[in-house]
Structure 1
Amino acid sequence: MRYLLTLHMNPTLWATLTDDQKTGVYEGHGAFIKLVTDSGEMVETKALAEPADTRTVRVRNGEPTVQTGPFAESDTFLCGYYVVDVETEERAVELAARIPDAQYTAVEVRKVVHEG
């Protein structure tokens, strides 16, 4: 079963972390990637740009409009994700808890129900 593990960033909280804590997060991602790659559970991972670099597209009456910025204003934003292929939901949750961001914000676990 494939699961999407989404990472959420809170810039205000991130700014309060020490340089050592930030380095720990970065190095923790390297360790996590090695863990899920070595176990054969890694499908893919991506880091995403900040919301200021986002373009939100809506089509109304057949006409597209483009807005600079995210779909919704929020204190947190989606900053990246992992897709893992695991035997159980429990394993997906176990892996999510090993992502260093979980110490400071949240990692959401969602089952992938369709792939194109």
Structure 2
Amino acid sequence: MKYMLLIYSNPESWASLSAEQREGLSRAHQSLGQELIEKGQFVSGAGLADPITTRTVQVHDETMSVTDGPYAEAKEHLAGFYLIECDDVDQAIAYAARMPDAEYVAVEVRPVMDMSGLEM
């Protein structure tokens, strides 16, 4: 089963990190990513650009509107993701808990739907 590990951040928590802590985050992601690759569980992953570059698209009554910024009005923003293949949700949760970002804001674990039958 595929799971999306959604990494959340916020400007305050990022700004409060020292250069050493930021380097530690990077090293931890590299290590975890390498482990997932070696185990054949890594599908995809990426960091996301600053939320200021986000555009939110909505369509109401066939009229499209585009607004700047993320849709959710919150301090936290989606900062990146891992798409991984796991045996079960507990294994996905264990990987999410090892992500350094879980210490600072949060990592969300979501099953990916199988689009062939729209089932998880």
TM-score, normalised on structure 1?
0.93
Name the counterpart of 1:70: 70
Where has structure 1 moved over 6 Å in runs of 4 or more? none
Query: CA RMSD for the aligned pairs?
Result: 1.2
Aligned-residue sequence identity (percent) comes to 37
Give, in angstroms, the shift of residue 97 of structure 1: 1.1
Q: Which amino acid aligns with 1:41?
A: Q
Instruction: Show structure 1 runs of 5+ residues with no match.
Output: none
Does structure 1 residue 17 correspond to structure 2 residue 17? yes
In 1: Cα distance, 2:44 partner to 2:25 partner = 19
Partner of 1:29: 29
SS in 2 for 1:46: strand
Report SS of the residue matched to 1:79: strand
In the alignment, residue 57 of structure 2 is paired with which amino acid? V
Equivalent residue number for residue 39 of structure 1? 39
Instruction: Find the aligned partners of 2:59 and 2:89 in 1 and give their Cα distance.
Output: 36
Number of residue pairs aligned between Structure 1 and Structure 2: 116
Provide the rounded CA distance (Å) in 1 between the counterparts of 2:19 and 2:10.
16
Q: Say if 2:110 is the partner of 1:100.
A: no
Q: Distance in 2 between matches of 1:23 and 1:115?
A: 38
Rounded to whole Å, the distance in 1 between the matches of 2:60 and 2:93 is 39
Give secondary structure in 2 for the equivalent of 1:90: helix
Match of 2:83 in 1: 83
